[in-house]
Structure 1
Amino acid sequence: EFFAGPVVAAACSVPRGLELPGVGDSKQIPENEREELFKVITETPGVVWSVRVLDHEVIDEINILEATMQAMTGAVEDVVQQLERPKKVQKQPVFIAVDGNRLPAALKEDSLHGVPIESEAVVK
């Protein structure tokens, strides 16, 4: 019996003007560099992040594409909810770039949890 998974999606919000050199398509980054970038992302003041992991049971139930979309949406929702805390976000749009060729349905809307968003799928 074959099980797929898990599927993992991450999202982060980086303050305007802050650059995180080396951050890009995780499939193009060697594992040791990914681990270092994880430390940079999670330890840099002002960066808000979330990771969602869905196991093989969810994938088997709803399929890999839907599980991926669900994980991406959940990770972005987590970040947006953290940004909703006072003084962390103004009512200017939050830009969301998705590393892939599709946007989850929730990210095609004009807002997420009352926070204006602009989204685009970016394929490298």
Structure 2
Amino acid sequence: MQSLVAGIDEAGRGPLAGPVTAGCVILPPDFPVEMLNDSKKLSEKKRIVAEEQIKKYACWGIGVIDHTIIDEINILQATLKAMKVAFDMAVMKLPDWCKKNSLVLPDVSQMNAVVDGIFVPEINCLARSEVKADAKFPCVMAASIIAKVGRDRIMCEYDKMYPGYGYASHKGYPTPAHKEACRRLGPSPIQRLSFKY
């Protein structure tokens, strides 16, 4: 019996605006892993195609923690919170997903999770962190794609709500254009006020 591994990764720790997101993905044994990579190494088009396949065939969850919580509890704690939300969502889907894929439902507390980075969220399984896991483990690559595409989509929606800040292009990262827009227009309603500009 092949053991199921949950991959966990985040997107959006560095931006000056918007949420931090995290993905959790458990891949089926026959998933076409050749389409996966660290989300930063894939084009936007390839990320979207991969996300569609992940959501169709994998067991997945996404966590979104907004800018107000980031300011309240700090970006690290907000990231870990997003990871826990993503994991819990994936676990909630696990029974139906295992049944659909003719897989044995595991005891979640005995499952393994690999988290990209150096910190591990408080989740109910055997979790370990590894630097650059998003370049080594397909399930973490998939989690990074879910987190990145999900966050980009949110930032594109914010771009429509708050025109002038350029969120659709820089996604809230500290680009010169973003900083200049903040100086000219003042902070937007989704600005992380605890971050330096």
Question: Cα offset for 1:77?
Answer: 1.1
Match of 1:78 in 2: 89
| Residue 81 (structure 2) pairs with residue 64 (structure 1) | no
From 123, 126, 148, give the equivalent of 1:118.
126
| TM-score normalised by length of structure 2 | 0.50
Task: Identify the range of structure 1 (81-90 vs 50-59) with the bigger mean alpha-carbon deviation.
Answer: 81-90
SS at match of 1:51: strand
Question: Cα offset for 1:16?
Answer: 3.5
Q: How many residues align?
A: 112
Ranges in structure 2 where 5+ consecutive residues have no aligned partner: 1-14, 133-197
Of structures 1 and 2, the larger Rg is shown by 2
Structure (1 or 2) with the greater helix fraction:
2
CA RMSD of aligned residues (A): 2.4
- Is this contact kept in 1: 2:63–2:84, CA < 8 A? no
| TM-score normalised by length of structure 1 | 0.75
Runs of 4+ in 1 over 6 A off after TM superposition: none
Match of 2:64 in 1: 53
Q: 1 or 2 for the larger relative contact order (CA 8 Å, sep ≥6)?
A: 2
Question: Cα offset for 1:81?
Answer: 2.1
- Is this contact kept in 2: 1:99–1:122, CA < 8 A? yes
C-alpha distance in structure 1 between counterparts of 2:59 and 2:67, whole Å: 27
C-alpha distance in structure 2 between counterparts of 1:91 and 1:71, whole Å: 23
Structure 1 residues 81-120: aligned runs within 5 Å: 81-84=92-95, 87=99, 89-91=105-107, 93-104=110-121, 106-107=122-123, 112=124, 117-120=125-128
SS at match of 1:21: helix
SS at match of 1:121: strand
Change (3 A) 1:42 1:83: same
| Residue 18 (structure 2) pairs with residue 5 (structure 1) | yes
Change (3 A) 1:101 1:77: same
Identity %: 33
